[in-house]
Copies of this chain bind each other. A is one copy, B any other.
């Protein structure tokens, strides 16, 4: 089935012509996200107001949430009170909270004035939940029925109120004291006898969470137990919100993006890349660069104290970048596997010794082969002249021995560096996890900075003591 398409000009034309019928038809055939993407490029936002006046609010509510945040702001400013009330009545509370969060105070209060007192309390409460908690992503539009209803009575209620709920595929059941007792999948209503009581149908071992549960934990529950929706309870065991699988899909993606950002030394962006200003981007990236540059003082210090050695044997400095890079890369491999494994719950700090032992053996194998290869490769580099190393007075066998020695210094250092970096790369994220911090914060660049120092110390140690070259 080919998807219907529309471009900005066509969409604008429909509105300018006041072609109500075609406009309604468009909203019925084209997904709102595709329409919103085109509408984001409108020259005159005022045109859009007309859409909200003539198209069914079940479509415009979704359309509105799909628009970019600056257009949402402008629209809220432009809306008449009536437009706004219609829109808000048709929207789910989690969506309203989503766009309110980014808005200036005057628009927030314009929105709060347009809703009824109950919804106002409700929104105020939702806005107060901390970011990345269950409370901040839950919605308050759900179907909750009392346990002494029969299936037949329940179906009547569902038909009456279902359209207003975020999902009717999970029905939430409460006892006579309004305490949550379990869930029923809509599926069960299809199979059940119409006189059965909800109390008997409800799955009483259904998972529940509190408002302050971290959204990543909630996502783990959904993935592990293949949930479709989960109940969010308050301290009195009353249902105050629900989270559905489509919210979780967003969470999973958002958490992966945040981890990738942190691993690359970028403080996670609040908005999309495109919506983040240049100054903000600089703020998100610069501090880490400076921190690591300052920490780089340790490697400068070591190199500085070996300046005489470097001056007398400049060939040593030739291999510094390749040493640093290979050490950083091998540690980066391991630290990324650790961070990801910890994030998706594949392992926990309890597995520390098992994983350290495994990675240590991987490191031995890898470093043995890499440094073995490197030994030959560096000799080749000197032999073909990629790297020039032919000290005066040396020729024939003596030159070959000098070159073998240099290559041995570098490749032995590589061997030790790879083993160290991979071992550290297991230990550090696990340690950070034990401290209840996010392991993604300490990633390849930090490992690199530490490994740089170690590699240089080993380098000069081997060069000076083992080979008396410096």
Contact = CB atoms under 8 A, between A and B. Distances in A.
Interface of A: 1, 3-4, 29, 31, 33, 155, 158-159, 162-163, 168-169, 186-187, 189-191, 204-208, 222-226, 245-246, 248-250, 252-253, 256-257, 259-261, 263-266, 272-274, 278-279, 281-282, 285-286, 288-290, 292-294, 296-297, 299-301, 303-305, 307-308, 310-311, 314-315, 317-322, 324-326, 328-330, 332-333, 335-337, 339-341, 344, 346-347, 351, 355, 358, 361-362, 365-366, 369-370, 373-374, 377, 381, 386-389, 418, 444-445, 448-449, 452, 456
Assembly of this chain: how many copies?
A: 2
Contact of A377 (B187, B294, B361, B387): B294
A304 B383 CA distance: 13
Contacts of A366: 282, 285-286, 289
29 contacts: A1-B204, A4-B205, A31-B225, A162-B190, A169-B187, A186-B187, A245-B249, A248-B249, A249-B249, A260-B339, A264-B333, A264-B335, A264-B337, A266-B336, A273-B347, A273-B355, A281-B362, A286-B366, A290-B370, A293-B325, A293-B326, A293-B370, A296-B326, A299-B321, A299-B322, A307-B388, A308-B314, A321-B324, A328-B448
A144 to B, nearest CB: 16
Contacts of A329: 265, 288-289, 292, 445
Q: Identify the 8 closest CB pairs spanning chains A and B, nearest first.
A: A264-B336, A296-B322, A256-B256, A317-B317, A299-B321, A304-B387, A303-B318, A307-B314
A365 B155 CA distance: 61
B264 A330 contact: no
A300 B381 contact: yes
Contacts of A370: 286, 289-290, 293
Nearest to A308: B314
B225 A33 contact: yes
A315 B307 contact: yes
Nearest to A331: B264
Chain A interface, >50% SS class: helix
A30 to B, nearest CB: 8
B386 A304 contact: yes
A456 B6 CA distance: 51
Give the most central of A189, A204, A225, A337: most B CB within 10 Å: A337
Contacts of A321: 296, 299-300, 303, 320, 324, 452, 456
A213 to B, nearest CB: 13
A203 to B, nearest CB: 10
Contacts of A317: 303, 307, 310, 314, 317, 320
A58 to B, nearest CB: 13
Contacts of A330: 285, 289
Contact of A373 (B273, B290, B299, B377): B290
Nearest to A169: B169
A368 to B, nearest CB: 9
Nearest to A285: B333
Contact of A282 (B245, B264, B365): B365
Given A296-B322, A310-B314, A325-B328, 17 more contacts: A1-B206, A1-B207, A3-B205, A169-B187, A253-B256, A260-B336, A264-B332, A266-B333, A285-B366, A286-B366, A289-B370, A296-B325, A304-B386, A321-B452, A325-B452, A328-B448, A329-B445
Contacts of A207: 1, 3
A340 B257 CA distance: 7
Nearest to A165: B187
Contact of A324 (B301, B318, B325): B325
Nearest to A180: B1
A233 B206 CA distance: 35
A299 B317 CA distance: 11
A336 to B, nearest CB: 3
B310 A310 contact: yes
